Amino acid sequence: MANIIRDFFIGLSNNRLLNTQAKKWGFSLGADKFVAGTTVESVMEAVKELNQQGISCTLDNLGEFVSDKTEAGQAKDKIIRLLNTIHEENADCHLSVKLTQLGLDIDQDYCIGNMREILSTAKQHDIFVNIDMEDYAHYDETLEVLNALRKDYDHVGTVIQSYLYRAEDDLENLKDTRIRIVKGAYKESEEVAYPDKASIDHNFLELAKQRLKGDAFTSIGTHDHHIINELKAFVEENNIDNDKFEFQMLYGFRNDMQNKLANEGYNFCTYIPFGDDWFGYFMRRLAERPQNINLVLKDTFYTEDNKLKKGPVAVGGAVAAVSALAFWCVKSNRKKNDAEE
């Protein structure tokens, strides 16, 4: 059942028609709990609030699979504006970017040019930029772009996904690069990725421990308290300095644990997405683990002491609405095709 749910939501995340329709529905679908608005101004308010709680942030201007240079250029300009705003606000914050938003599917050299502009501005402000890892079809090309950029910039890193068989080798090749370790949020073939949760979790722990024994900074991206507790014990047993790593979670998920880790003295970073192009991101978060759906429902409908909220935002209804929207779009497409025939 878990795989069926995962495949369903990943299928929704890749549907361009649904993405377009979801923009028209807006945050009434409930994504506002997990996406911090659509503008630079709105996301900076979220950053300030978290900074006051001793939590740093990384920002993701949502959008991917761009095939038009005008759109890619606009995304680059918005990211540069965001970098300038982070500097002006003196925020404890860095950036996460997706290469497909910046033209990777158009031309690799064009994408590298956009990244160079971004990294030059980030260097002026001493801000780190992380390149998010996307689906496996873009994996090798993403590493190629990173390696090209690393020749001139040392404040750029990327993400390693523990569901990939090759993750350990790639981590070794990037041992001097700042890395975020995650489980992976895309549906990949069993030829390249572990198909079962137990193997993915085991590999995640092995990769994280390997990195913690090294010298480069590591972001540990997980909501899994079992993994977090094991790594906390590993850090203590091996006398690993807390300044060598941070825990990282998504905006809107497990807020109690986020604050707990920060209060315990661990470096903590919240990954904050924002922008109009939120649909694919939201669906992949629901697809990652069945527990995420439970987290959405619990955080939305119940208070911390498990009492039903009086006026919750209907994220549960949002999921149903998205499902209904999916069927509506499929039905509309069929009618259109029948008419054309």
For the chain of 341 residues, list the mean pLDDT of each consecutive stretch of 10: 57 60 57 81 94 97 88 96 97 97 97 98 98 96 98 98 98 97 92 96 98 96 96 98 96 93 97 83 66 56 56 46 46 49 44
Q: What pLDDT score was predicted for residue 277?
A: 75
- Catalytic site includes residue 176: no
DSSP β-bridge partners for residue 335: none
DSSP state of 174: T
The CB-based long-range contact list for 331-338 (8 Å cut-off, 24+ gap) reads 333/17
> Which one is catalytic: 132, 135, 201, 277?
132
CA 20, distance to chain mean position in Å, is 20
Q: Check residue 278 and give its pLDDT.
A: 72
Kind and range of the H or E run holding 6: helix 2-13
Alpha carbon distance 79, 302 (integer Å):
36
Two tokens, residue 26: 């807006």
Q: How confident is the model at residue 187, as a pLDDT?
A: 83
* Long-range contacts from 77-82, C-beta under 8 angstroms, 24+ separation: 78/40, 79/118, 80/117, 80/118, 80/121, 81/40, 82/40, 82/43
Indicate which residue of 180, 254, 284, 289 is catalytic: 180
Q: Which helix (H) or strand (E) holds 316?
A: helix 315-340
* Cα(277)–Cα(5) distance, integer angstroms: 22
> 276 by DSSP, 3-state: which?
coil
Run of H or E residues at 130? strand 129-131
Estimate the crossing angle of helix 315-340 against helix 16-25, to 10 degrees: 130
Which residues of 144-254 form beta strands (DSSP E)? 156-161, 179-182, 218-221, 245-250
Alpha-carbon span 117 to 113, nearest angstrom = 7
Length of the chain: 341
Place of tokens 């090309």: 141
H or E element that contains 181: strand 179-182
Tokens of 246: 């941070």
pTM (predicted TM-score)? 0.81
> Residue 180 catalytic?
yes
Q: Which residues does residue 270 pair with via DSSP β-bridges, in sequence order?
A: 57, 249
For residues 319 and 293, the answer to whether their CB atoms sit within 8 Å is yes
